[in-house]
Structure 1
């Protein structure tokens, strides 16, 4: 059998030796391009860092506040404690949020956002009172309670259309099982389930125990609500009962499947 030809041996030799290397000037040009690109990248990165941290262009000049109802914008700004002139990029938005929630309990939530090139925006959501608790020996002051059962602010006058919460639990094993904070949460739960037409007239929510909560209305009528369980069913039953017995003075929906009314 004949061996490989001269041409075939030449092709095999080319394959072994790999592709031809570019001339030396071409390699030098490629190296220079890579060096230039590397230097440009480093300079650009350094410029960005200087722009964000060292220049006077991207610094805090404005602290805007929105969403406040009772609090003032000045109170929020002071509690946020963001100094003018701080590089915008270095403002710790999580820390600002934590300070506001800690220093102003009336704030339920807050969004802290950067507003380039010179601003920080504080979007505040305040707590809304659903009940108030009168403080004994405090000059007639009231503590506001929100829908989560959080006591968040002391005010000299009860807000309009917010019912008074009266806690009169007995000193018994029931109280040990259901401490005051739990009873407050149950009262808040009931306040959230009261029909709107009744809520407008509710003057006091009285809590004697976990399963003994009643409502005192502004016209002298009262409602025995029971526990905070089955609130939606109790609300529907109370609405129907009041329509069926408009002159009644007492309503009992503690067992919504067996309600009752009395008095006239």
Structure 2
């Protein structure tokens, strides 16, 4: 009886060891399969052209040609989508003068999408060869033979960059009801910005300093009709 008990125990131990070996082999096989699957996925995503760039989609381009955006973006065809440096693409496209903001995103499986917000024309600066188009930051981003429809024409000497920025500052400060009445905008010097409004009204603005305060003062003064509003010294405005 003792021999039989030892034999049964030995068989149980052998069975347990065999099961343990099978379990370890199974776990090793599963781990190896996972590694192979992950390696294959990593290769597909980062190393192959299966999920590579096949198309660059440009949205919001009106002032600048989509083909020009694609050229500047310089996204290599076939490059794995996951390896495209989106920030670098955005930086290159943001260098286009007409682009105010840009976002770049991956559209799986094979597309890079570039979405633009273009600058809005605020005024046109007269030059001997036509007009420079600027936004309300005073940033020149386009040119044209004539001002775009509905865009104010401005006169500044020799395309003075500081004056152009100052005009942008003034325009941004104005309430919409005043801005909509502007017919002429000019400045010979940084201290001589002048607005011509509809109805033959003139606003002497002076410099771009304290533009927000000047706009507030002008709004109050225009409650009474005058031909000239001088807000160049906003603490001591003059009307006549």
Paired position in structure 1 for 2:5: none
List runs of 5+ in structure 2 lacking aligned partners: 1-15
Q: Deviations over 1:201-232 (max 9, x none)?
A: 32332234433322123543311112223323
Mapped to 1, the partners of 2:238 and 2:224 lie a distance apart of 11
Mapped to 1, the partners of 2:163 and 2:17 lie a distance apart of 87
Paired position in structure 2 for 1:154: 143
List runs of 5+ in structure 1 lacking aligned partners: 1-22, 170-179
Q: What is the DSSP-based 3-state SS (H/G/I as helix, E as strand, rest coil) of the residue aligned with 1:243? A: coil
Question: For the aligned residues, what is the CA RMSD?
Answer: 2.8
> Could you list the runs of 4 or more consecutive aligned residues of structure 1 that deviate by over 6 angstroms after TM superposition?
none
- Does residue 49 of structure 1 match 2:27? no
- Does residue 107 of structure 1 match 2:87? no
Mapped to 1, the partners of 2:21 and 2:216 lie a distance apart of 87
TM-superposed CA distance for 1:133, in Å, is 1.6
Mapped to 2, the partners of 1:253 and 1:55 lie a distance apart of 66
Q: Deviations over 1:3-29 (max 9, x none)?
A: xxxxxxxxxxxxxxxxxxxx7556644
Mapped to 2, the partners of 1:163 and 1:218 lie a distance apart of 13
- Does residue 131 of structure 1 match 2:123? yes
Between stretches 51-60 and 158-167, larger displacement belongs to: 51-60
TM-score normalised by structure 1 residue count: 0.72
**How many residues are treated as equivalent by the alignment?**
225
Which of the numbers 113, 116, 121 marks the counterpart of 1:121? 113
Whether the 8 Å contact between 1:60 and 1:119 is mirrored in structure 2 is yes
- Does residue 166 of structure 1 match 2:155? yes
Paired position in structure 2 for 1:82: 75
Whether the 8 Å contact between 1:162 and 1:203 is mirrored in structure 2 is no
Between stretches 53-62 and 226-235, larger displacement belongs to: 53-62
Whether the 8 Å contact between 2:49 and 2:79 is mirrored in structure 1 is no
TM-score normalised by structure 2 residue count: 0.79
